[in-house]
Chains A and B, each alone.
Chain A
């Protein structure tokens, strides 16, 4: 095994490919948080009075809240006053109207990330609303979307242009006081995405946003709101990478989904933020609140996520199944390596009749990482005939890592049925032997076995993402078996 060990060590040392910094002057706030900062932020974004009020209310509420400490993760205490709450690319006065006007530095960054905006536009049929730090700088494919009546813009624009929609739904799924990080986000969210799909419209293409954290010391507070009106369908992709940094960066996003009668929302995430180096230094703190409200009859919300990045992840995409016959789904692959810590899972809250949900969670831990599934399945008294199936499997690679499962199951309705099962295993010697016997090298064999382990989740991803996800796992895992 000596050679393998050596190979392994080399591979483990492979550095983060996407670690680079784009040199663009940023217009950044001084670190610190108080009501003035929020007012200034709101002013810069030319927000209406009600929005500022909303932020301040959230801020006051947040001051009274405690940072949660129940998650199975450990990280140094965050000083929220040492973070800068706004950073925008400099030339904001003349926002680009088309791609040609976009700062070429930025375009290069996207190219390095493998998002050739101008080429992929038509080829892949994906409209990309790329968020660079905190302000949307380029949006494509707006026209065909507009033709279908779909609104796809930054949340700042939406606040200005569609205040009635924003006011009606913002904070209804994740209220101010929901949790510490959501409260913080509500107070200082910088930008994000807004999607509205009108009645009966099937969104003509997959919508996608690439996030990227850039300027040093800048917390990124995205806010996403997606509303699918009666009988509509939308598929939304989210993917992230971040440049290499030594200092921990905080990311506290909020995603709210609202599905009305017969509507369907499919939300897919590939997350590859900087996980810290092999010593566990640096890396992104990812404290995200994602929740969908299936308020309409026969509505459906589906979360699919592939998580390979971040130093610390705290994330529970959830579904509140309020409408009759509504459906919630959660498919997740979470991979941790080195010193990464992940505490992730989902909540399925069944309130309506005949609601059903499926949870498939695959956790892979390698190195000295810790990977926890934490889930809640809850049936209210009115959840007549509701149904849940949960499967969470863990795969351990190496003997210094941890895999944990904390499922909460609560039922108040006798006709509701819940099934939960979980297993933990490792890549077995027999599997490896079988592969090696057939001339497959150990790296490939592991990658193959892991891919098989995750297949149930990958098949839920849109094609382009599935390819990317497979690749990501390969890179993240290479060298972890010896």
Chain B
């Protein structure tokens, strides 16, 4: 057997030395651990369907330059933070000084805060399951630390725009750490966009530490161009009676990967994960989610919908793990998929791993095409076939899109999806 390929050493040279000392030390230590890290292959279980899309050439190891202008694609009311190629751009940020809420770039942290943060970075992620997130830990050049004191409430959504400018090959490693105190509340919108057309990689890590009773809403929009490989990891740890809600909307690309891991550590914690993915052309998208029910009396609800057109490839892997002490857990996972073309492929794997007996767990998965009877119904009432197709396909995922709590985001997403389907069904 030939040995698995390992990560090229070219990727082990981080740029940006402006971080506080403790974070630089952490980065160095993480980098050392990555020497000879095997890259995922077809035999790596959690990259089974995606490894062939992962193309890391040495010229992509260079950090993209952190200069230039940014522009958000979402012209919406709210607070703003802008990242360009993984580095925060203070001049493009807009947020007020609020009592009990601190929003800071990693570079601006005091040594004391930085050392505290260094101890906690990566703590929400199971590093064995998200190998590629370790690359971010070894390479991040900047990051955003959001700290909410107990009872602090951010009155408007915080938009975080991550833009990469792909004038030449390279990579960006944006990073966010959210520390939500007791009974605090925040709505966070992460938007990933790109300009330029050189092949680049974006490797992101977002972490949420959710204290007792806190309420977090996270919206993630993946709208980068056809030249961007995106590998994102999100880790969430929830304490007693907290609530985490996630809405991800993904458009395909050469490689799109999102790992979402939620640990319900305190009793009564609750999470809701929604996801929508559309792919076309030769695009690819892979969503991997894990929900760990560690404590008793927790609820989780997960709904993902994929639509694959042309020769594209969509993957869903959901895992629910109920630990032995997590009695009275409720977990529900649902994944529905629509295949619009014979060249397209959908792979789904809804897993349950259960070690407690007094639990209610269910999962369901379907793959199919649009229902002929519904199509006929619409066509027989004078609606054109193409329009009927668009209508039904939109309806298939709109159920989830409608749940996005920020109106401006919801409308933008709906508009883009509608445009996408109208394009897809043009020939039909």
Contact = CB atoms under 8 A, between A and B. Distances in A.
A407 B351 contact: yes
Contact of A418 (B345, B357, B359, B368): B368
A186 B365 CA distance: 37
Contacts of B344: 412, 414
Contacts of A409: 346-349, 365, 367
A401 B324 CA distance: 9
B366 A419 contact: yes
Given A399-B327, A399-B358, A425-B360, A413 B342 contact: yes
Contacts of A379: 367
A401 B355 CA distance: 6
Q: Which residue, of B45, B324, B340, B365, has the highest number of chain A Cβ atoms within 10 A?
A: B365
B339 interface: yes
Contacts of B357: 396-399, 401, 426
B94 interface: no
B356 A399 contact: yes
A75 interface: no
B280 to A, nearest CB: 14
Interface of A is mostly: strand
A422 interface: yes
How many of chain B's residues touch chain A, expressed as a range?
35 or more
Given A402-B353, A402-B354, A410 B364 contact: no
B367 A411 contact: yes
B75 to A, nearest CB: 37
Contacts of B353: 402, 404-405
A418 B364 CA distance: 11
A403 B349 CA distance: 16
A407 B367 contact: no
Given A381-B342, A411-B345, A404 B366 contact: no
A40 interface: no
A423 B361 contact: yes
Interface residues of A, number: 36
A424 interface: yes
B346 A421 contact: no
B341 A414 contact: yes
Contact of A414 (B350, B359, B369): B369
Nearest to A410: B347
Given A405-B363, A417-B368, A422-B364, A396 B354 contact: yes
A415 interface: yes
B352 interface: yes
A400 interface: yes
A414 B340 contact: yes
Contacts of A20: none
Contacts of B352: 394, 403-405, 422, 424
Contacts of B361: 423-424
A319 B45 CA distance: 23
A412 B342 contact: yes
B367 A416 contact: yes
A400 B325 CA distance: 10
A459 interface: no
Contacts of B355: 401-402
Contacts of B74: none
B383 interface: no
A281 interface: no
B360 A422 contact: no
A403 B321 CA distance: 10
Contacts of B360: 424-425
B68 to A, nearest CB: 42
A70 B48 CA distance: 13
A420 interface: yes
Contacts of A426: 357-359
Interface in A416-443: 416-426
B4 interface: no
A406 interface: yes
Nearest to B345: A412
Given A399-B356, A400-B324, A411-B346, A417 B364 contact: no
Given A420-B366, A421-B364, A408 B347 contact: yes
A422 B324 contact: no
A366 B150 CA distance: 44
B76 interface: no
Q: Which residue, of B327, B337, B339, has the highest number of chain A Cβ atoms within 10 A?
A: B339
A66 B356 CA distance: 33
Given A412-B342, A413-B342, A414-B339, A422 B367 contact: no
Nearest to B339: A414
B354 A418 contact: no
Interface string B310-343: 0000000000000010010000000001011111
Contacts of A396: 354, 356-357, 359
A403 B354 contact: yes
Contacts of A406: 349, 351
Contacts of A416: 339, 367-368
B33 interface: no
Contact of A423 (B342, B343, B362): B362
A119 B143 CA distance: 80
Q: Which residue, of A66, A396, A397, has the highest number of chain B Cβ atoms within 10 A?
A: A396
B348 A414 contact: no
Contacts of B347: 408-411
Contacts of A422: 350, 352, 362-364
B365 A410 contact: no
Nearest to A373: B352
B366 A418 contact: yes
B45 A70 contact: yes
A426 B354 CA distance: 12
A413 B367 CA distance: 10
Contacts of A417: 366-369
Nearest to B346: A411
Nearest to A64: B1
A408 B359 contact: no
A137 to B, nearest CB: 43
A144 B358 CA distance: 54
Nearest to A371: B354
A403 B320 CA distance: 12
Nearest to A384: B342
Nearest to A372: B353
A233 to B, nearest CB: 32
Given A406-B349, A407-B365, A415-B369, A424 B354 contact: yes
A421 B349 CA distance: 12
Contacts of B366: 417-420
A469 B358 CA distance: 27
B294 to A, nearest CB: 15
Contacts of B368: 416-418
B351 A418 contact: no
B56 to A, nearest CB: 25
Nearest to A419: B366
Nearest to A391: B364
Given A421-B363, A423-B362, A407 B350 contact: yes
Contacts of B337: 411
Nearest to B347: A410
A379 B343 CA distance: 12
Nearest to B349: A408
A76 to B, nearest CB: 22
A404 B342 contact: no
Q: Which residue, of A400, A411, A418, has the highest number of chain B Cβ atoms within 10 A?
A: A411
Give me the 9 closest cross-chain CB pairs, A-B, nearest first: A396-B357, A414-B339, A405-B352, A424-B361, A417-B368, A420-B365, A411-B367, A421-B364, A426-B357
6 contacts: A399-B327, A401-B355, A407-B349, A409-B347, A422-B363, A424-B360
Given A405-B353, A414-B341, A420-B366, 16 more contacts: A70-B45, A381-B342, A394-B352, A396-B356, A399-B324, A402-B355, A404-B353, A410-B345, A410-B348, A415-B342, A417-B367, A417-B368, A419-B364, A419-B366, A424-B352, A426-B358
